[in-house]
Amino acid sequence: MTSKIYPGETLPLQKDVNITLGPGAYKNPITQEIIPVSAGLLHCKTNKKQTNQLVYVETKSKRYIPKLNDFVVGVVNGTLGESYKVSLQEGSNNVLLSFMGFPNATKKNRPNLKNGQAVYARVSQDVSEIDIEIECIDPTTGKEGGFGVLDESGFIFEVSLNFANELLFNSSSIYFEKLSEKCKFEIAIGLNGKIWIKCGEGMKYDDNNELLPSSLNDMKYTVAAANYLKNCQFISKSQIDQSLKDSFKHLS
Amino acid sequence: MHLKTSTLSNFDGSAELQSGNSKVIVSINGPIEPKPKQELPNVCSLEINLHPSQGLSTTRENLLVDKIRSILSSLIIKYKYPRQLISINIQIIRSELDSIIINNFENSPKDLKIFNFELSTILNCCYFALIDANIALYESFISIHSCIVNKQIKLNPSLEDLIECGSNHIIVLSIKDNQPNKIIFIDSKGKFSEKELLDVIDYNFNSAVGIFSEFKRLIDIKIDNDFVWKN
């Protein structure tokens, strides 16, 4: 069930069920009242046994607030003690990525990241009163699990947070299926709205930091794919084909 | 009333509102990293800048900012963003006050009457910008400007109405389930009796439902635009 909701309205909550609050729902500690705090699409789901109800408001947002277990793309900004400072978004507080937050890292065998390098990581601690922490380990296996340093042959661009959420979690979304008709790509989607993408072999540089002529075509495809995905957040599903065509029209 | 949201792409939220002859643009960044002196341990801090349509901001703008701050701090859920900063920039683009130049507003009773002229539009624009920036709010709110001319209550007065009127009142009401719920703020200028003020409050409570349904229509359009990729 989805409908539009505005801040402070009464939520359609059932009595005598366990209620789980998602983003956009807030329990006022003084009045103990549960209210929506933003305007957007209300989702209210009850499980089959009628024992649990989930309430959240889906909104468009550009500012990322870290939440536990979110996957994020960050840029290393410096070091602080035993940790790297990582920027998830311009203007926001830096988060910490411990030297130990990598698989098989020890005191002697620590990763060596430079300023400006991008990482794909998971938020491991989200208490907003203290510094947020991220790590590059899959907690279930203790191994890499797809996290780690994103190489420099890719390209990072930004989309709105709810669209990043859609791309990462909606397995039935057709955006990547359509894109795969045009080129081969590798992608890392951060819920902080940053997306890292690499088409083909990506952009390779020589020793003087100049783009190799052989990777020029891959660079064009990478930029076109990024433009296509950025454009998709402003159009309806029926226009996706046209947007794909427009983005790749100069490429063979 | 004309509204455009997300007009400034470099901000987290922005809104441009035209109401009558006043046009205001509000942009919001936040929650972001505060300067050390602004940081509060358990709540977020608010930084509000108000730029007039002409010239530099004066003591009048400072007083308006204080009023806006007192209203917004009671409506934003500050405990949700500890140690963060919400920065609000307000630019008045066009105002009827442009036609007359007033150097010092506090000098004469006549000047005082038009002191709050744009405040109502600014507050309404702030509401839309806060919604656009997805900042958590306890309640929706609307601001209504009305004046008493010849014992008649008039909504959204023009500059001439304000100069002629006996008194003018800005009332900010919180809205719950489409009905006005609480009075957040009242600012009155001019000479008026207690009964007149109560009448104005009654009148505004009654007209709030209609005004908020217009607000809802504007927000519905915004939400539909935000989720266009879902269709």
The residue among A203, A172, A176, A200 whose CA lies nearest residue A189 is A176
Q: Report the SS3 class of residue A240.
A: helix
Residue range A71-150, CATH number: 2.40.50.140
Contact call for residues B157 and B96 (beta carbons, < 8 A): no
Domain range A2-58, CATH class = mainly beta
Binding-face residues of A in 187-246 toward B, CB within 8 A: 232-238
Distance in angstroms (rounded) separating the CA atoms of residues B105 and B110: 9
Q: Where along chain B do its domains lie?
A: 2-230
The tokens 């703008």 sit on which residue?
A: B61
DSSP string, A110-150: -----TT-EEEEEEEE--TTS--EEESS-TTTSS-TT-EEE
Distance in angstroms (rounded) separating the CA atoms of residues A216 and B158: 61
Contact call for residues A38 and A58 (beta carbons, < 8 A): no
Domains A2-58 and A155-247 share a fold: no
| pLDDT tier for residue B215 given thresholds of 50, 70 and 90 | very high
What value does the mean pLDDT take over residues A60-88?
A: 94
Residue range A155-247, CATH number: 3.30.1370.10
For residue A132, the chain B residues in CB contact (below 8 A) are: none
Query: Could A35 and B80 be called an inter-chain contact, meaning their C-beta atoms sit closer than 8 Å?
Result: no
Query: Could B219 and A6 be called an inter-chain contact, meaning their C-beta atoms sit closer than 8 Å?
Result: yes
Task: Out of 3.40.50.12140, 3.50.30.50, 3.40.50.10710, 3.30.230.70, select the CATH number for domain B2-230.
Answer: 3.30.230.70
Share of chain A above pLDDT 70, in %: 99
pLDDT in tens, B35-88: 999 999 999 999 999 999 888 888 888 999 999 999 999 999 999 999 999 999
Q: Report the SS3 class of residue A62.
A: coil
Q: What is the mean pLDDT of chain B?
A: 90
Binding-face residues of B in 71-130 toward A, CB within 8 A: 77, 79-84
Q: At what angle do helices B59-75 and B119-132 cross, to 10 degrees?
A: 40
Distance in angstroms (rounded) separating the CA atoms of residues B97 and B87: 26
pLDDT in tens, A113-172: 999 999 999 999 999 888 999 999 998 888 888 899 998 889 999 999 999 999 999 988
pLDDT in tens, B97-114: 776 655 555 556 667 777
For residue A60, the chain B residues in CB contact (below 8 A) are: 134, 226-227
